[in-house]
Amino acid sequence: MATKPGERRLQILQTLAEMLETPKGEKITTAALATRLDCSEAALYRHFASKAQMFEGLIEFIEQSLFGVINQITSEESDGIRQLELILGLLLRFAQKNRGMTRVLIGDALVGENERLQARINALLDKVEAALKQALRIAATQQDFKPDADFGALANLLRCYVVGRWEQYARSGFAREPLAQWPQQWPMLGCAGLAQASPGGGC
């Protein structure tokens, strides 16, 4: 039975993501992707105009997956600190469950590809940082933080923590899982970083 166009596109993206799960594998080419799918390169180009467009499809999936849940968190959870914890946990969990996507998020899979792909990832991470900053502002209205705290710097610190965990996961050959020490590290983040912006100023 022939697959529908949308189903074939999804199959191509899923296969590309699977190929990205090999951290030290060869550079992914459309020829290798076509071989894995048992089709011709011409068949791939009937669904995607270029390899860059395939990567854009993966980035769109990441965006929809992450921000669909982030929007749900911010609409259902009123506590700012709890929003922060849930968003950070989501970011770590997504990477742990999607190895190939992690390589896209850290830019490792985009080396040598069209520059607009890295620009899209940068924009995605900026949106994540903005969501963290908004949660911090909400926490301030709930008197968890000083009103004049530098929420931009703190949101960036949390972003860097997440990206660092993603990097470690990919560079370790997916051995050091992002969630492995999360229960211990979240309180540490609260003590070392969040508390500095709290009214009491201590851990």
The string of pLDDT tens digits covering residues 5-36 is: 578 889 999 999 999 998 665 678 899 999 99
**pLDDT confidence band for 198 (50 / 70 / 90):** low
Q: Is the pLDDT of residue 67 over 90?
A: yes
Q: Is the pLDDT of residue 76 over 80?
A: yes
Q: What is the CA radius of gyration of the chain?
A: 19
pLDDT score at 199: 54
Q: Is the pLDDT of residue 200 over 80?
A: no
CATH architecture of 52-197: Orthogonal Bundle (1.10)
Kindly report which listed range (3-12, 54-63, 101-110, 176-185) carries the lowest average pLDDT score. 3-12
Question: Taking all residues of the chain, what is their mean pLDDT, rounded to a whole number?
Answer: 88
Residues, the chain, total? 203
Better pLDDT: 194 or 53: 53
pLDDT score at 150: 85
Question: Quick one: residue 2, left, alpha or beta (phi over 0 = left, psi -120 to 50 = alpha)?
Answer: beta
**pLDDT confidence band for 1 (50 / 70 / 90):** very low
Report whether 73 contacts 83 (CB < 8 A). yes
* Residue ranges per structural domain of the chain: 52-197
Close Cβ partners of 197 (under 8 Å, ≥ 6 residues apart): 136, 145, 146, 149, 150, 151, 154
Report whether 135 contacts 84 (CB < 8 A). yes
The mean pLDDT of 107-122, rounded to a whole number, is 93
Kindly report which listed range (123-127, 177-181, 197-201) carries the lowest average pLDDT score. 197-201
pLDDT score at 189: 83
Better pLDDT: 197 or 81: 81
pLDDT score at 26: 61
